Amino acid sequence: MNAASVSAEASPIAVPATRVGRRHPTSGGRPGSRRAVLVLVGSATALLVVTAASLALGVRAIDPADVWQALIAPDLADPDQAVVVQLRIPRTAIGLAAGVALGLAGTLIQGVTRNPIADPGLLGINAGASLAVVLCISLLGVTAPLGFIWFAFAGATAAAAVVFAIGGAHPVRLALVGAALTALLTPLIALVLLRDTEAFNQYRFWAVGSLTGRDLSTLAALWPFLAVGVVLAAALAHRLNLLALGDDVASALGQRVGVTRAVAGLALVLLCGTAVALAGPIALVGLVVPHAARRLIGSDYRWITALALVLGPIMLLSADVIGRLVVPNAELEAGVVAAFLGAPVLVAIARSRRVAGL
């Protein structure tokens, strides 16, 4: 392959500019960039609204003035302000962090595997974290969230290491190994839970995916891992654009595909491990967010990554707020609501021509 043919295959200049402007609005022109910025600003505004709703709304009705007072000068003797400070602020902060991790992890997984229905559960990461949590509860008697988050993180790390060691740099092999690992670990989890009722009682609340029952000490322990994962994901955004062209083209353009996937694997471990340790194995957020970003902003992974960082917490916090309001005097966990919100999107993705042609 000569340089001219590589350039023609890899660059959108080979396609008429009018077509590129219609199909890939963020691929380089000023109108596309302006649209992307507007979408990002609108999404950031929506995130502020959802964050405010997470602080203000819940099973207990609290006056907005009390919510504001709890944020600027809290009086813990006031029961309403105590609820905001001790329950809603940690819940919102954990939702923001876990949403960022899930949105970016889903974007990385779909970019690295070139699989439009990939999410953090595809590579067996959730299953590895779940098995580690079950074992630490059953064998060590750990019940506090701050106690088993490290086991969840270690399990996610071990599962990702196995998948990338066996699957290598091949996207299809990675997906198959991840599915096989999930199929292997899931019965082991069930076996431990069936033999230990106490472990099941502790595990079921974590496994459904929830933002409650954690405090800011949990986030304080995990935020460095999240920060490194976010930085790595941002650094990989341009490389994901090249991977989307295929391994051969990416290599011809000078990218070391194996190194890119190895760094992406490290970022996935950090992001998925953090999300699972914070909120449990919440499903479908990592699947839905990248697709929503592509629909809103185009196919450039630099913009997709930036938007996923905002859309992830929007979806997770929205699910949490809805879960607080739909059942009178009770709550649904965020993981349950996120599954209800994401399932129709998954069906639409599966029925699309792009997926049907894979």
CATH number at 288 reads 1.10.3470.10
Determine the angle formed by the axes of helices 257-279 and 145-167, rounding to 10 degrees.
Answer: 160
119 closest CA partner among 300, 7, 271: 271
Q: What is the average pLDDT across 174-199?
A: 84
Token pair recorded at residue 255 = 């990218």
Q: What is the average pLDDT across 294-301?
A: 87
For the cut 80, the answer to whether the pLDDT of residue 307 exceeds it is: yes
Count the domains in the chain: 1
**Poorest-confidence range of 12-16, 206-210, 241-245?**
12-16
Is-contact 83 113, C-beta < 8 A? no
Using the CB atoms, write b or e for 119-134: b if 16+ within 10 Å: bbbbbbbbbbbbbbbb
Q: How confident is the model at residue 100 (pLDDT cuts 50, 70, 90)?
A: very high
% of the chain with per-residue pLDDT over 90: 20
Helix H or strand E segment including 312: helix 301-325
**Poorest-confidence range of 103-112, 196-205, 208-217, 313-322?**
196-205
Is-contact 294 321, C-beta < 8 A? no
Q: How confident is the model at residue 75 (pLDDT cuts 50, 70, 90)?
A: confident
For the chain, give the mean pLDDT. Answer: 80
Domain span at residue 261 reads: 3-15+26-356
**Cα 289 from chain centroid (whole Å):** 8
% of the chain with per-residue pLDDT over 70: 87
Q: How confident is the model at residue 203 (pLDDT cuts 50, 70, 90)?
A: confident
DSSP secondary structure string for all residues of 231-268: HHHHHHHHHHHHHTT-HHHHHHTT--HHHHHHHHHHHH
Q: How confident is the model at residue 95 (pLDDT cuts 50, 70, 90)?
A: very high
Residue 30's pLDDT is what?
52
Would residue 258 count as lying in a domain?
yes
For 15-44, the pLDDT digits (tens) are 333 333 344 444 444 556 888 899 999 999
Would residue 20 count as lying in a domain?
no
For the cut 90, the answer to whether the pLDDT of residue 13 exceeds it is: no
Is-contact 291 349, C-beta < 8 A? yes
Q: Which DSSP letter does residue 55 get?
A: H
| Cα distance from N-terminal residue to C-terminal residue, the chain | 26
Would residue 31 count as lying in a domain?
yes
Is-contact 218 94, C-beta < 8 A? yes
**What is the Rg, in whole angstroms, of the alpha carbon atoms belonging to the chain?**
21
Would residue 196 count as lying in a domain?
yes
Residue 198's pLDDT is what?
74
Count the Cβ atoms, other than its own, within 10 Å of residue 336: 18
- Sequence-separated (6 or more) residues with CB below 8 Å from residue 295: none
Would residue 21 count as lying in a domain?
no
Residue 352's pLDDT is what?
65
- Sequence-separated (6 or more) residues with CB below 8 Å from residue 51: 92, 96, 313, 317
For residues 300 and 26, what is the distance between their CA atoms, to the nearest angstrom?
Answer: 6
Is 0.85 topped by the overall pTM? Answer: no
Q: Which residue has the higher pLDDT, 338 or 28?
A: 338
Would residue 185 count as lying in a domain?
yes
Using the CB atoms, write b or e for 314-323: b if 16+ within 10 Å: bbbbbbbbbb
SS3 state at 136: helix
Residue 73's pLDDT is what?
84
